Amino acid sequence: MRASSLGFVPSYTDAMSAFNFPNLPASQPTLAHVPAAGAPSRLAWALGIAGLFPFVAGAALQWFSPPGWRMLAASALLTYGAVIVSFLGGIHWGLAMRKGTPANAGLVWGITPSLLGWLAILLDAPWGHVVLTLSLLACLAVDRVVYRDMGLAAWLPLRAVLTVVAGLSVAVGGWAYWVA
């Protein structure tokens, strides 16, 4: 087992071999050899749809719950949305790591949704809803370009459905503050 430059931490290849990954090339400690994914499975669709529940419920609660509960519903919706846009940004770090040398643009974009989600939470309702809705749409716009370039275009229909429902839910939840 080779040691890293720190002297006590195993190298990436040695760490991965501990998990018995037979296809990991010993000379190349990157994920560049991972093939492009096919269409999302039924499980991916089911999990994605299930992940929409907090969006739809949060928006509905902002409209139909007693006034004293609406701020809690808004906070829950914005927090969950911030987690989701952070997840969407994190995907870009994973995609960037598939390359031998990650592209700076992929790394920068990867952190941007997290910062926008944080801003949405700080702004609170209803302006946080605006930031979060635009963040979800921006994530989809970037993914439409990047996913095609990375051979992941088959995932775009799922991404589009999830973004439309999530974005509309956040927008409708924010609208409750101007109307209700």
Asked if residue 163 belongs to a domain, the reply is yes
The reply to whether 99 and 26 lie within a common domain is no
Domain span at residue 9? Answer: 1-30
- Are the C-beta atoms of residues 73 and 61 closer than 8 Å to each other? yes
**Shared-domain flag, residues 173 and 142:** yes
Please tell me the predicted confidence (pLDDT) of residue 16. Answer: 42
Q: What is the pLDDT along the chain (180 residues), one digit of tens a residue?
A: 444 444 554 454 454 444 454 454 444 444 444 455 789 999 999 999 999 999 999 999 999 999 999 999 999 999 999 999 999 999 999 888 887 777 888 999 999 999 999 999 999 889 999 999 999 999 999 999 999 988 999 999 999 999 999 999 999 999 998 886
Q: Radius of gyration (Cα) for the chain, nearest Å?
A: 20
Predicted model pTM: 0.79
Q: Is 85 in contact with 116 (CB distance < 8 Å)?
A: yes
Considering the domain architecture, whether residues 129 and 167 belong to the same structural domain is answered as yes
* Domain co-membership, 24 together with 46: no
54's CB contacts (< 8 A; 6+ apart) are 76, 77, 80
Secondary structure, 3-state, 24-69 = CCCCCCCCCCCCCCCCCCHHHHHHHHHCCHHHHHHHHHHHHCCHHH
Contact criterion met (CB below 8 Å) for 170 and 80: no
Same domain, 50 and 24: no
Shared-domain flag, residues 88 and 158: yes
Judgement on whether residues 5 and 94 belong to the same structural domain of the protein:
no
One domain, residues 7 and 72? no
Q: Do 49 and 122 reside in the same domain of the chain?
A: yes
Q: Say what the pLDDT of residue 40 is.
A: 96
Phi first, then psi, for residue 18 (nearest 5°) are -65, -25
Query: How many domains, the chain?
Result: 2
Residue 36 confidence (pLDDT): 59
